[in-house]
Amino acid sequence: MALAASYWDAFAFTRFDLGEIPVSVRAGRHTVYWGNGLLIAGHAVSYSQAPLDGRKAVSNPGTETREIFLPLTQISTQAQVTDKLSLAAQYFFEWDTTRAPEGGTYLASADVALEGPDRLPLFSGVSRPLIDPVKPKDRGNWGVMGTYSFDFLHSEVSAFYREFDDYNPWGLQVAPTFARYVYAENVKLYGLGYSAGPVLGGGSLGVDLSYRQNTSLVSSNISTADNQGARGDTWHMVVNGLWLLPRTDYFDTGSLITEMAFSHVQRVTKHEEVFKGEGYGGCPEGQDKHYGCATKNYVGLAVSFAPQWLGVFPGWNISTPMSVDYGVSGNAATGGGNEGKYTWKAGVKGTYDERTDVTLSYIGYGSERKYGDIAGVGKTVVGGTGDVGLTDRNWVSLTVSTAF
């Protein structure tokens, strides 16, 4: 048995006035989260603004995106130019991959995920060694944003520009003598955001609209000539509402979040032959979205509901967090959702003295599966949408966390 530890936030912070403009600066390992996305990470302005803790996301559905951001070494700054206009920027000095449940573990979507395995099985008795991935350089990811506040509806309008090397793997490059993961570099994102509240019965409204240039698209393979898969330009939007629940006859307080995501492929710009989209070379003949091939448009929905009862026992508050994430239509060409794929959670959470949480949850996953007859094997799964390997992995989770 091996012991391991890691440190997360570790940064220096200062504030000063530049003339009459207050400026704050942070330098070191920390996270910065832009935009209004809450639950569906793959389509918000904050996409790939930090690597994600995919292990936490898979094992605890309904977790807000900002809670699964992993810190990296960077410098970030914010300036309050006027009482209504603020500007912000960040520049990274470190790159690291998104974490995922590793191959061979209970919640791994496939035996080859991600950094744990050392071989890629192809078929019976044949495999490829899984070698070190093609990773970007540490430096180079950066972004700027500006936000203007309006008195009307207590609303804000934001504009964003980011250039980044993706923290999420493009896919597997399978060569005659090896296999490895590859990450897309030099992606550009243009974004707009709008938030307002209180609206919609006392809740808040959030909208992100973004356009990605040169972004990675789901690919059947990665070219060994240039270490590139399919690339293209895509549109993304998330719309959400957040409500803090008032006291009722059924609960004392709580929260409700709903979010819808949409994506659209504007064009495929490179390596159409490996783009795993309907009508393209990477989608095998006779297959379609039901086998996991991407579609031009995608719509997804996520809901999180957590009613709470205060002072149920001395020092204890009790809540029942519930969530569901569902792919409504299509398969996202950039990853981040598949038609019919779902995750859900229902649990009971006790909070003691506002510091210690004990949560018991039942968690489930599902995706459409396609079956075929394989010689020497019989009827087996040959495809599907989403993480078909998790479809039979429903489980009970008990977690304890504390702050001190």
- Single-letter amino acid code for the residue at 199: V
Distances (CA, A) of 208 to 42, 43, 108, 192: 12, 8, 30, 6
pLDDT tops 90 at residue 7: no
Q: What is the pLDDT of residue 1?
A: 46
Structural domains of the chain, with CATH = 10-402 (2.40.160)
- Supply the DSSP string of 278-335, one letter for each residue: TTSTTS-TT--GGGT-B-SEEEEEEEEEEEEEEEEETTEEEE--EEEEEEEES--TTS
Q: Give the confidence band of 4 by pLDDT, cuts at 50, 70, 90.
A: low
**pLDDT tens digit sequence for 205-258:** 999 999 999 999 999 999 988 999 999 999 999 999 999 999 999 999 999 999
Mean pLDDT, all residues of the chain? 94
Strand-pair partners of 207:
194, 239
Q: What is the pLDDT of residue 2?
A: 52
- Single-letter amino acid code for the residue at 363: I
Nearest partner of 213 among 178, 240, 238, 188, judged by Cα: 188
Percentage of the chain beyond pLDDT 90 is 82
Q: Among 85-89, 99-103, 292-296, where is mean pLDDT lowest?
A: 99-103
Structure tokens at 289: 């979205």
pLDDT tops 50 at residue 119: yes
Q: What is the pLDDT of residue 317?
A: 98
Q: What is the pLDDT of residue 378?
A: 77
**pLDDT tens digit sequence for 152-184:** 889 999 999 999 999 999 989 999 999 999 999
Sequence length of the chain is 404
pLDDT tops 60 at residue 295: yes
**pLDDT tens digit sequence for 368-403:** 988 887 777 778 887 888 888 898 899 999 999 998
Q: What does the pLDDT average to over 268-289?
A: 96
Strand-pair partners of 379:
373
- Single-letter amino acid code for the residue at 71: P
